[in-house]
A = this chain, B = another copy of it.
């Protein structure tokens, strides 16, 4: 008749620490309790910072109330919440848990002030709505993080004092785990936010620079999209080489591949008519100018190579360095295919753009000459799948 679930719950509480998914963590806790303690149901009221209120996050059991998640929401004025935030439990109860049995006994206590009595009564009523017979609060320092609600035991018996003591100790582990998960989530959210800020700022600036070149409107975003499609295709074949870091570098490189055009005079960029040789040579400086602009950014390793070499050609006839075949960095070869396709399919003042079909045959024709055949093949596949 010993409390044989203790060991399992303690070990569960310890492992919980490394569960940083708050919803999953709470599910594990509630499920473990329902299974091990053999109660009709269990639930957790968890403080939701954003909503400034306590939300019934999980409610689970073989029998009894199963309130839909997130349905019950209570702010600080709720009597059950107030009972624990005012820390009336310290004055009224010896251990940390509030049981309806003990609470009803306490109501008869003559030392209890009328206001306390009224609050306790209202708290009991709230517990009855949830069909809970025990409430165990979780505090971190003095801040109420949540309340664990337990229904009756399946065998119909009362909870014993040592069980309640145990739950109070467990609740403190749970509070720690919840707090830890919250901190983790906050950090993760900050990271996601920073990532979006970075990508969106880069997009905004790239689009603004793109707009300087009147003939290539929307070019940057199209090349970026095509490059990412190519990477996704290659990723399916070789997960090791094409990881998330590489995709991020490609995203940045394709967004910024023409950034160097900012160093080319508008009079050349937007010239109404064919360029002479000097002007053509000026334009050909843009990959080097781009790499020079990005060079101080240490975190952009491969992305800078993508910018610098996106006009190299597979047979060595490109610029700025005339690199050949596998000498050309992978990101640059990807951008080159996307860039070539977009240049071919865009109208220019002196010629109409090719159709997609014509452009794809042209890409197949120059594959292995101008373009890296692996990338060109992947690009054709994407086209055949209707993704271009």
Contact = CB atoms under 8 A, between A and B. Distances in A.
Q: Which of A202, A205, A265 has the most CB of B within 10 A?
A: A205
29 contacts: A15-B176, A17-B17, A17-B177, A18-B176, A18-B179, A18-B180, A20-B183, A180-B180, A183-B184, A184-B184, A187-B188, A187-B191, A190-B191, A191-B194, A193-B299, A196-B298, A197-B297, A198-B201, A200-B297, A201-B201, A201-B252, A201-B294, A201-B297, A204-B296, A205-B205, A205-B293, A208-B293, A211-B262, A262-B262
Contact of A195 (B179, B194, B259): B194
Given A266-B266, A266-B267, 9 more contacts: A14-B172, A17-B177, A18-B183, A184-B187, A197-B299, A204-B297, A205-B293, A208-B259, A262-B262
A14 B176 contact: yes
The 5 closest A-B CB pairs, nearest first, are A198-B198, A197-B299, A200-B297, A194-B194, A205-B205
A303 to B, nearest CB: 10
A24 to B, nearest CB: 15
Q: Tell me whether chain A's interface is mostly helix, strand or loop, or mixed.
A: helix
Contacts of A252: 201
A88 interface: no
B201 A194 contact: no
A31 to B, nearest CB: 21
Interface string A257-298: 001001101110000000000000000000000000110111
Q: How large is the interface on A (under 10, 10 to 19, 20 to 34, 35 or more residues)?
A: 35 or more
A209 interface: yes
Nearest to A260: B208
Contacts of A193: 299
A173 interface: yes
A265 B214 CA distance: 12
A367 to B, nearest CB: 33
Contacts of A262: 208-209, 211-212, 262
A196 B299 contact: yes
A300 interface: yes
A198 B205 CA distance: 12
Interface in A294-315: 294, 296-300
A247 interface: no
B183 A293 contact: no
A23 to B, nearest CB: 18
A224 to B, nearest CB: 15
B208 A198 contact: no
* Most chain B Cβ neighbours within 10 Å, of A18, A180, A208, A263: A208
A207 interface: yes
